[in-house]
Structure 1
């Protein structure tokens, strides 16, 4: 079990004092959640706030099948400088369901809520067990641990920190040494201590959009539909544009097939009818052979186009299933090891 809070008080990146929990020698500073003056410091209000900031309901419902979308390894998260190297732009998002979701040349990352950088907030509102007085559901703590552990992978170097500050993912006053001290304990957080969503790293939006159509996890009360996990196209022309390349390829293939067939049929079968190639049988045969070769190569290209992705996707799913099985075996071994220590 991860310590609570995971970081030391003097390593906290937000040093504001929460008024209801002040010591005898402290001066009250704020009566609300840090950076959220509309959220007072009472359990129900804070619980609702944390749910809105961290809960990933739809991904939790899809959890047993997420291995079809990504490898079940929590450390599979590119650092921020790696995202830029791969040509992805960073999109800050306030929706926790989009945290670490990427598509094409973009990756969505949720900025860290300031309250998660505050030692007193962790101490009083993110307890390690439901037996603690005025405790929130332990899922809130697990979500917070998983969320901040993901940042331990996102920001590994000074350059990553500079990118994070530039994109508004962290407060501007945070320097490298402060960040290194704060985030170090989260690197040791185990998968047993985090929410199920953070058993996975980054997820691909296109695959989530396919999976949600099969699983249909959203009910009538949920926002959105089961057609998309998140809509990538907001107007018709952008939606249709993705089919243009495939349409051009099909049209070009059909044109090439018909042209080759026309050349083959235009060659007379009898020698007497070949007026312009009467003495050039080799050239006539070469024309015929070239057209047939074009048709064969085109058929082979179509076979690769259709079968290649199927084989590649199938190999990925086999690998993903093996990694899922290994992950579950490791989790069971760690769980039994923890129970053995408690029994001793």
Structure 2
């Protein structure tokens, strides 16, 4: 697929390569093809996600439709954070999700025809193909992000302007209704997946990308070390409880040796034993719950990947 919408439905009209700038970016002259393609690569392509593309099923369902509409993001209590980095588009972290606004140049039929369609220059075609696949995948995400008029209203809010101003609901429906025709074969591997969890990307970044994180969420040491407070306090509390129980047990043996306080000896002895057993049981149950949840996610990921491969083989 070269151009994902008809000229009659374009939202940015009158683009002229010879005398215009890139729509929405006055600093970029449209007459400089190499500069425009370099700009588009920076804007739309994500080298990191393309690099780990074969492993993206570790982080998310292999399903292009795994994208919640904007109103659903609010239902999930997620704050929509506007980003211009394509590598963060549809990446979510606890109570926030990053979304890249829909750029004007992707809504111009003439722009697609000039810079993203194939021509006789094979060297340029290879470069354009990478950009076009990223652009098609990016456009398709908006078919799922804005499915209802309420989503459209959210996208036009002043603090999160995700679509160009002046666009009406009917106009957006006319152009976005054609985005569903974009298949996985038309897009790069990143956009064959929907939302991706940032915590997992950060966890596997040292293994897959060779660096400490995919995207650093906190910039202050205080905020960074704050994440260690709870597990450290939990560990010391368990250790303190175990040591106290052992100390009680030793003291009980001393009482027994002096042959005084048999009732106190019985109560203290059993209390220390039960305290240690209870602590061990709590830790064991928590560890088991974690392993079960972790294993269930991997089982689901393998099943989803198997279904995806089976569906492709049938086609």
TM-score by length of 1: 0.82
- The answer to whether the 8 A contact 2:91-2:198 is kept is yes
Aligned-partner SS, 1:107: strand
Aligned-partner SS, 1:108: strand
Tell me which residue corresponds to 1:262.
247
Tell me which residue corresponds to 2:15.
18
| Separation of aligned partners in 2, 1:56 and 1:311 | 33
Tell me which residue corresponds to 2:71.
81
Tell me which residue corresponds to 2:175.
182
| Separation of aligned partners in 2, 1:70 and 1:130 | 36
- The answer to whether the 8 A contact 2:15-2:108 is kept is no
- The answer to whether the 8 A contact 2:83-2:98 is kept is yes
Aligned-partner SS, 2:177: helix
Picking from 331, 336, 341, the partner of 2:312 is 331
Aligned-partner SS, 1:163: helix
Tell me which residue corresponds to 2:230.
245
Picking from 48, 57, 62, the partner of 2:52 is 62
Tell me which residue corresponds to 2:147.
156
- The answer to whether the 8 A contact 1:115-1:121 is kept is yes
Q: CA deviation at 1:333?
A: 4.0
Give the 3 Å change call, closer, same or farther, for CA 20–262 of structure 1 in structure 2.
closer
Aligned-partner SS, 1:37: strand
Picking from 182, 185, 188, the partner of 1:192 is 185
Q: Give unpaired runs (5+ residues) of structure 2.
A: none
Query: Greater share of helix residues, 1 or 2?
Result: 2
Tell me which residue corresponds to 1:273.
260
- The answer to whether the 8 A contact 2:66-2:195 is kept is yes
Give the 3 Å change call, closer, same or farther, for CA 95–141 of structure 1 in structure 2.
same
Deviation track 1:48-67 (CA, whole Å, cap 9, x = no partner) reads 12101100111111111111
Q: CA deviation at 1:294?
A: 2.6
Q: CA deviation at 1:288?
A: 3.5
Deviation track 1:91-111 (CA, whole Å, cap 9, x = no partner) reads 111111111111121111111
Picking from 203, 217, 221, the partner of 1:210 is 203
1:38 aligns with 2:27: yes
Aligned-partner SS, 1:102: strand
Instruction: Give the superposed CA RMSD.
Output: 2.3
| Separation of aligned partners in 1, 2:269 and 2:45 | 65
Tell me which residue corresponds to 1:300.
281
Aligned-partner SS, 2:97: strand
TM-score by length of 2: 0.89
